Amino acid sequence: MMTSFTTVIPEAFDLQELLRDWRQDSHQFVQHDLPKILLVLAVSFVLIRLLRAITTRVGTLKVTDRYSDARARQVKTMAGVIGSVGKFAIFFVASLEILSQLGFNLGPLLASAGIVGLAIGFGAQTLVKDVINGFFILLENQYDIGDSVRTAGVKGNVEDMSLRRTVLRDDDGTVHTIPNSEIKLVSNMTRDWSQVLLRTTTAYTEPSERITSLLQQVGDALAADSEYRSDFVAAPRVLGIDRVANGEVDYLLAARTRPGRQYDVSRELRRRIKDSFEQNQIQTGPPGRVFVVETRD
């Protein structure tokens, strides 16, 4: 039994017609699409150079009396973030324009990018919150490196900060790393100026005018001291009697200092007040109490 085979011969391939179609498409592309693509590339190049020049200029600000070194670092960080986001946005828009000129259908591509972006957003919500909150912390200058702050239930000095986290070191030397998304309320103890509120307790029988005069003398002497003169924003002054109870009288002394210097100033004030009271024989508390307790055998 024999099997017959039928050979199918395709139609003749017209090479000249194909070349003619390519020539027409190329001519149309060069005349209409290529100038638009070159224009998009040129505009993108100019925008990137302009953005780089602005961010570089901002990032190299000189440190003056108005801008602290920490503030200059924050401005440089913000300039870097703005530059990176701006470049990405320019590249993304330029790529979409070029692909549209080349005839690509951007509908499915944008839909896929949206789904992927949505999945990444759900998986990295905390990271996004950290970065956004960190950006506004830097933008609003809520605290600087070296400031003493209380936030997220922790108190300490700011040692480092970025868009994602803030590093604090407390009085015990413990380092706390706080994600910026956890920072809801910031209490800055070293912003612009700090204040010393010192309560001094004396016996009720001590003359008020004498105690007020001695406290004011101690405050004036410390403010005139060359070692502490630059620490004061406003000279110490005695506000008067703050409390009278149980045979005691509390006198309140207030002073404004430069940020972070209130602790050294308050310690030196206490030492000088103690020496002054000892020299002038001021009784600092009521007489000792004697408690008689009846016991049974």
User: What is the chain's mean pLDDT, rounded?
Assistant: 81
| pLDDT value for 12 | 46
Segment 155-170 shows an average pLDDT of: 88
Q: Is the pLDDT of residue 235 over 70?
A: yes
Q: Residue 40: which pLDDT band, with cuts at 50, 70 and 90?
A: confident
| Residues 6+ positions from 205 with CB-CB distance below 8 Å | 283
Sheet of 148-151: strand order equals 175-179, 165-169, 154-161, 148-151, 186-188
Query: What's the burial of 127, exposed, middle or buried (CB within 10 Å: 0-12/13-18/19+)?
Result: middle
Measured CA to CA in angstroms, residue 79 lies from 131, 167, 181 at distances of: 14, 21, 21
Which of 25-39, 51-65, 67-81, 259-273 has the weakest average pLDDT?
Answer: 67-81
Ordered domains of the chain (ranges, CATH): 22-123 (1.10.287.1260), 143-188 (2.30.30.60), 194-279 (3.30.70.100)
Segment 63-89 shows an average pLDDT of: 67
Q: Is the pLDDT of residue 66 over 60?
A: no
Q: How far apart are CA 260 and CA 190, in angstroms?
A: 5
Q: Which residue has better confidence, 220 or 28?
A: 220
| pLDDT value for 82 | 76
Q: How far apart are CA 39 and CA 288, in angstroms?
A: 91
Please list the residues that pair with 241 across neighbouring strands.
251
pLDDT digits over 171-219, tens only?
899 999 999 999 999 999 888 888 899 999 999 999 999 999 999 999 9
| pLDDT value for 237 | 94
